[in-house]
Amino acid sequence: MTEMLNTKKFLLCSLLLASMLSNAVASDKKSIKFISQIEDISVGRGVMTFVDNDVKLIAAEKITFRTESPCGESTIAVNAKSLGMKDEVYVSHLTNIAQAAKNDEYYEITIGSCDRAKRSQKRQFITKIRPCTSAICGKKYITNKNIIWLDESFDRTVKRNASFFMEKPFIFDKQNNIWKMTGWYVDKDKTQNGISSNNAKKIKAFEGYTNTKDFSSLQFVSKFTVYYPSGTIKSQNNFDSEGKLDGETKNYFADGKLYQIAIYKNGKVDGVVSTYHENGNIESKMRFHQGVAADGQCNHYGPDGQLEREHAYLNGKYDGKYVDYFPDGKIETESFYAGGKLVGESKAYYQSGQLRSISRNNEEGYRDGKQQNFNEEGTLITESIYKDSFNLSHKSWYDNGNRREQEQWRQTSEGESEKYGDFKTWYENGKLKSETSYSKGLAVSNQEWYEDGNKNFLSEYKDGEIDGVLKEWDRVTGKLIKEEHYAKGKQHGSSKRWDAETGNLIKEENYQNGEYHGAYKKYDAKTGKIREERSYLDGKFDGPWNQWDEETNHLVSESFFKQGKRQGIQKGYDKTTGELANEVLYADDRPVNGLQTGKNYKDGKLTSYDCYADGFRKASLNEPDDIESRAQNSDATAQTLLGQFYFECGYYDESRKVLNHPIIQLRPEALYLQARMYMLGKGEPLDRQKSIDLMFKAAEGGYVLAQKQVGLLYIPADGRMLDKKIPRDIKSNATLARKWILAAAEQNDVESLYVLGVMSETGVGVKKNLRQALEYYDQAAEAGFNRAYVRSVKIREDAKVKSKK
């Protein structure tokens, strides 16, 4: 008979073990603070969290930080409730935070305890967030307020959108009453707090002047020179006293050669704009008057002087022919403009001279008539017909000439475009691929076929929503594999699935208005025999739910639901023999509290009880009939096991009565359980000193859990292993701590092996020895203790890093 029960660890033992670390302490404080920058704020998406023992979606924002919190999270939820603010105040607060975050400001963030969040399984929330000041975070986290950020157009912006930055104060030109500014390139890989770090050279972007000492006018005045990162001049400009371009502007290639010259007056280009290729040859010369292109011809030339484009302006708009040329002089595109509108036929050609496309526009510039595209062999591949910019039809073909698509639209009395008729697609081999029929812009039916011509899919529609039957066939076998019924876009009625190879029915379901309603059955694909059967009412489980084994066909599970909740006795059966194996009593979807909520059987006989509390199994009592009979006959071992079972199940008074029996009250196991009751104040009055006295007696009697507990009580609370706030009832003694922990480990207690590893790693009770720590960790890890594995991996990784240095 197995006489060891599945037990929980002593409460104080759990607290101590949870706080053991080599370098840091994870204390259960009420709140935690950390400093970070904000990477992103996701607004209005909500978060999933536990509320009243149920997972719910609640309104909240998510803030992603540049660094992880002490709890190991970089994305943390926040809402008005978590910050203790009214909605309107919260919105304003978050808006200000989001704006400042774009300048990479630092924030002090307050969150709840890591341990409490893990224990309750609730999502971590921000309870306070405020911008850093020197007093709050220290000077290290204060950004430079003298930095002004500019975008690519030299407009003021935030750091994250910036291409350049300037740093105040600016140099005052007393003679001209203006301030000189120097701008620098933003290199996000080499900047720190907005400016280049001490080890990175700043790269000049521009030099210029402004008419206010803090650039509050947002105006450049006088000379303004822009540089490439290489240091060569990119452009030379001049602004008048009102910040408008005035005079000659020159732009240069990166190698310093002239790219363009333009003349500005009162902020508008006025005169000839000359543009050059990098080899110095002219690209174009355009005349402007007060920012408007002058009337006349405008030609563009290639690097070798060949004509690339010709067009003309009239009243500042394109007018007349517009032609692009290939480098060999052949026409690439030709079109015609009237008053700035594209009109008539426009053509494009391949370099071979073959027509590529032809489009037509009416005199208002709208697409009108056939729009066609051809491949290089001259085969028509697309054709669309327009009327006053409305697309009336579209057809396309494969390069081999076979049809590809067919679509058509018509204009409604309201001037809108709507689909009508049959929309079709074909495979390249000429076989029909899909056909969707429309009426008044809404789908009526849809059919699809495989490339070999076999059916693929069929669905029916009404008023634009799927309505009626939906069918699907297998590509390989051609057999029907799905049939569903819909009404007004939702599944309604029967739904069936068949196996593609055998053709056997594998699933049948029933729906009502898109929700499960009625019988649900699953079958074996090969044999056709039933595998699962349940029923629904308005989308919720309601009625019996039975499951059968795939190999033996025996019933293996039997339960009952009412309005979505499990009720009554759930039974499990042995898949080999079909005999009853276990049963659990449920009420409202949870096992009921009780000593005999769960029962286990073998060969038709009761083998154990399982007790439950708060929906969880707490402990098991093996061979209960035998144990109870022996206990009544004053069998010490049976009484001890029975007392332990009562205790783990939360029946403390019953446990105390059994454990206080003269026959067993001095047994180490009984002493240990009595110590736990005094420690918790369950079944006995709360008395820590009496608990410790009994624990020592149990340990001296050789009981492994008591030995481990006594060892933990002796461990020094010096900050390396334990939280100093844990109450100390005996004077710490590292030597005695190791003695008792070692005694428990010699009885194969896995957690004790882990504790010995921590002691060796940190030098508590023994000289610091990483090799010995690894031996203990490896033994515990082999026995399945995950924390030991994590510690061993870290030690080995740290050793590798140190060896590389």
SS3 565: strand
Is 119 a domain residue?
A: yes
Q: Check whether residue 59 and residue 79 sit in a common domain.
A: yes
- d(CA 315, CA 46) in angstroms, rounded, equals 56
Please give the residue that has the higher pLDDT: either 509 or 21. Answer: 509
Supply 489's token pair.
Answer: 């876009």
The better pLDDT of the pair 54, 701 is held by 701
- Give the mean model confidence (pLDDT) for residues 384-402: 96
Residue 95: inside a domain? yes
Span 221-229, average pLDDT: 97
Percent helix, percent strand, percent coil in the chain, to nearest 5 = 20, 45, 35
Instruction: Say what the pLDDT of residue 305 is.
Output: 96
Is the pLDDT score of 12 beyond 60? no
How many CA atoms, within 13 angstroms, populate the side-chain half-sphere of residue 268? 9
45 shares its domain with 105: yes
pLDDT band at 28 (very low <50, low <70, confident <90, very high): very low
In the predicted structure, residue 121 carries a pLDDT above the cut 60? no
Residues 80 and 156 in one domain: no
Mean pLDDT of 705-714: 92
Lowest mean pLDDT across 28-42, 185-199, 393-407: 185-199
Residues 218 and 166 in one domain: yes
Going by pLDDT thresholds of 50, 70 and 90, the confidence category of residue 698 is very high
With CA atoms as reference, report the closest residue to 186 among 218, 210, 211, 164: 164
Residue 235: φ, ψ to 5°: -155, 150
State what percent of residues in the chain have pLDDT above 90. Answer: 77
pLDDT digits (tens, 9 = 90+) for 42-88: 887 666 665 555 556 778 899 999 999 888 889 999 999 999 999 99
775 and 741, same structural domain? yes
Q: How would DSSP label each residue in 749-785?
A: -HHHHHHHHHHHHHTSSS---HHHHHHHHHHHHHTT-
My answer on whether 129 and 102 are in the same domain is: yes
> What confidence score (pLDDT) does residue 9 get?
34
Looking up tokens 């709840």 gives: 112
Q: Determine the residue type at 513.
A: N
Q: How far from the centroid of its chain's Cα atoms is residue 402's Cα?
A: 45
pLDDT, residue 805, reads 64
Q: Which of 803, 802, 746 is nearest to 776 (CA)?
A: 746
- Six-digit token pair at 220? 């450049």
CB atoms within 10 A of CB 686: 12
* pLDDT (average), residues 9-22: 33
Average pLDDT score over residue span 226-238: 97
In angstroms, the CA 637 to CA 663 distance is 10
Residue count of the chain: 805
CATH of the domain at 366: 2.20.110
Q: What is the pTM of this model?
A: 0.65
CA distance 120 to 114: 10
Tell me which of 298-302, 319-323, 652-656 is least confident.
Answer: 652-656
The DSSP letter of residue 479 is -
Which of 316, 286, 317 is CA-nearest to residue 299? 286
Please tell me what DSSP assigns to residue 645. Answer: H
What pLDDT was estimated at residue 721? 52
pLDDT on residue 48: 63
pLDDT value at 198 more than 80: no
Which amino acid belongs to residue 557? S
Residue 2 banded pLDDT, cuts 50, 70, 90: very low
Distance separating alpha carbons of residues 779 and 758, to the nearest angstrom: 13
Question: Of 261, 254, 309, 304, whose CA–CA distance to 279 is shortest?
Answer: 304
Determine the pLDDT at residue 729.
Answer: 65
Contact 109, 141 (CB under 8 A): no
Instruction: Using the 3D structure, point to which of 109, 124, 141 is the last residue of a domain.
Output: 141
pLDDT band at 200 (very low <50, low <70, confident <90, very high): low
- Does residue 319 lie in a domain region? yes
Which tens digits make up the pLDDT trace of 457-488? 999 999 989 999 999 999 999 999 999 999 99
Domain membership of residue 66 (yes or no) is: yes
Q: Choose among 531, 480, 469, 483: nearest CA to 502.
A: 480
Residue 252 to residue 269: CA distance in whole angstroms: 18
> What are the residues whose beta carbons fall under 8 Å from the beta carbon of 450, sequence distance 6 or more?
456, 475
Amino acid sitting at position 537: L
Lowest model confidence (mean pLDDT) among 119-128, 175-184, 198-207: 119-128
Residue 118: per-residue pLDDT: 53
Q: Is residue 430 part of a domain?
A: no
Question: What total of structural domains would you count in the chain?
Answer: 5
DSSP-derived pairing of the beta strands 126-131 and 106-112: antiparallel
**End position of a domain, from candidates 351, 380, 401:** 401
Strands 31-42 and 61-65 come out as antiparallel
- Give pLDDT, residue 114: 79
How many whole angstroms from its chain centre is CA 738? 45
Percent of residues, the chain, with pLDDT higher than 70: 90
- Whether residue 193 has pLDDT greater than 60: no
Tokens at 356, concatenated:
């590529």
Dihedral, 752, 755, 757, 758 alpha carbons, nearest 10:
180
Q: Report CA torsion sign: 582, 584, 590, 594.
A: negative
Residues 636, 642, 643: CA angle, nearest 5 degrees: 90
Angstrom distance (rounded) from CA 390 to CA 368: 8
**Which tops the pLDDT comparison, 275 or 3?**
275
Q: Mean of the per-residue pLDDT values for the chain?
A: 89
Which pLDDT score, from 0 to 100, does residue 326 have? 97
Any domain includes 392: yes
Whether the Cβ atoms of residue 209 and residue 194 lie closer than 8 Å to each other: no
Q: With 70 as the cut, is the pLDDT of residue 17 above it?
A: no
Both 44 and 99 in one domain: the answer is yes
For the ranges 253-267, 306-320, 384-398, 674-688, the lowest mean pLDDT is seen at 674-688
Do residue 690 and residue 734 come from a single domain? no
Question: 135 and 194 share a domain?
Answer: no
Its domain, for residue 189, covers: 144-227+234-243
Q: What is the pLDDT of residues 132-158, one digit of tens each?
A: 999 999 989 998 989 999 999 999 999
Question: Which pLDDT value is given to residue 49?
Answer: 64
CATH number, residue 39: 2.40.50
Same domain, 695 and 706: no
Mark which of 81, 108, 141 sits at the end of a domain: 141
Query: pLDDT tens-digit profile of 493-504?
Result: 999 999 999 999
Reading the block at residue 31, the tokens are: 């709140």
765 confidence band (pLDDT: 50, 70, 90): confident
What is the CATH number for 766? 1.25.40.10
Residue 333 CA, distance from chain mean position: 48
Compute the CA torsion angle 47, 50, 52, 55 (nearest 10 deg): 70
